[in-house]
Structure 1
Amino acid sequence: MSGVTGLPGLAVTATGLCLFAAAVALARRGRTPEEGARRDRASLLGIGIQGLGFVIVATGPIRVALDPLAASAIGKAILTAVCLGAALALFLWARQTMGRNWSIVARTRMDHALVTAGPFAHVRHPIYTAIGLLLVGVALGLGHEPRLVAALPVYALGTWLRVRIEERLLRMQFGRTYDAYAARVNRFVPLVF
């Protein structure tokens, strides 16, 4: 039932968002700027635009179905849990695989390694795929699926800005090695895109 949610969906959404926020906060804990890091703060614009996609799906009235145990309410909660669970699992896997290379703002370090293992063997930007799944999960959980028509292109624009900056930094650091990796691994969805 598009445009309507249930209490189970709202509970799953709140739980999923809290877990994802905690995962990001834990990933950032204890991080200090490295000497010789090459940063591009222009990626902050991309982060802001991606965030606008979340504002689009998260705002507006929420219509809650009266029966929390209705099949539609339970079904939507399950779909929401799948999206949010997949987003969290993919983020954690990618973050663990990246190790010290991970940061929120685009940058490379002097000892930066080109990560091609784990989820990076399948897609070049698994964290953006995870955040896209988070966006879809939030829309489902709040009953705001129609808002994805506007939110997904906004999120895609912010992601494109960030990817362009990150890939430029990686090409500067790794040259042909990165080009060869990019030629064999898609950006966001294995074998598709």
Structure 2
Amino acid sequence: MSHSTGLPALAVLATGFVVFAALVLAARLKRRDEEGARRDGRSLLGIMVQGIAFAVCGSGPIAMALDPLGFPSLALAAATALLLVGAIGLFVWARRTMGRNWSVVARLRQDHALVTAGPFAHVRHPIYVAIALLLLATAIALGHVPRLVMALPLYALGTWLRIRVEEGLLLAAFGDAYRDYARRVKRFVPGLF
């Protein structure tokens, strides 16, 4: 099932994906693997499941029926842009706050620090919130909002697989300090969950 979209929303989405991917790649290239870092490849399964959620949102026909300069098309582009700005801004803030602790695959450095400042003072997993915003932007821009019924549970499963590994590493490394942090700060939405 697909709803109509317009060229402006697709252009905004493509630009947002390029910017997000460039930021992730730049952060990955900047970070060096250190000897003694504990990497846990089990988080790769979560990454794959999250990727499937994006594939579900991105697959299917795209109905380019909206007038590019009409209000519905421009409103769709604005909603997409708002979600992308939120996703990119939250990712950059979290990535900078994490510094050398950040990585795509779950790992602990020998000098790993428990990060509780910046966005981590509000939610424990702001980068997954940012990626969820990217998923929503994808569905809206492509006119695939109904596909979120399948994509959101898949994204939640992939995220759960990843955080289970990450939180296990942090609990093993920081013990009571991590338990106290987890009691104070919710995973994804301040004050809720």
Matching residue's letter, 1:108: L
1:1-150 alignment to 2 at 5 Å?
3-150=3-150
**TM-fit CA distance, 1:31:** 2.5
**TM-fit CA distance, 1:136:** 0.3
Aligned to 1:169: 169
**TM-fit CA distance, 1:66:** 4.1
- State the aligned residue count: 192
| Conserved 8 A contact 1:65-1:73 | no
Question: What stretches of structure 1 of length at least 5 have no aligned partner?
Answer: none
| Conserved 8 A contact 1:40-1:165 | yes
**TM-fit CA distance, 1:150:** 0.3
Distance in 2 (alpha carbons) for counterparts of 1:171 and 1:132? 25
Q: Among the aligned pairs, what percent are the same residue?
A: 63
Deviations 1:104-146 (A, max 9, x none): 0001111000000000000000000000000000111111111
Distance in 2 (alpha carbons) for counterparts of 1:188 and 1:30? 27
Distance in 1 (alpha carbons) for counterparts of 2:6 and 2:27? 32
Deviations 1:162-183 (A, max 9, x none): 0000000000000000000000
**Greater CA drift, 22-31 or 94-103:** 22-31
Deviations 1:60-108 (A, max 9, x none): 1000124111111111111100111100000000000000000000011
Question: What stretches of structure 2 of length at least 5 have no aligned partner?
Answer: none
TM-score (norm 2): 0.97
Could you say what the CA RMSD is over the residues aligned between the two structures, in angstroms?
0.9
Distance in 1 (alpha carbons) for counterparts of 2:188 and 2:66? 38
Q: Which contiguous aligned blocks of 4+ residues in structure 1 show a shift greater than 6 angstroms?
A: none
**TM-fit CA distance, 1:52:** 0.3
SS at match of 2:187: coil
Distance in 2 (alpha carbons) for counterparts of 1:65 and 1:118? 42
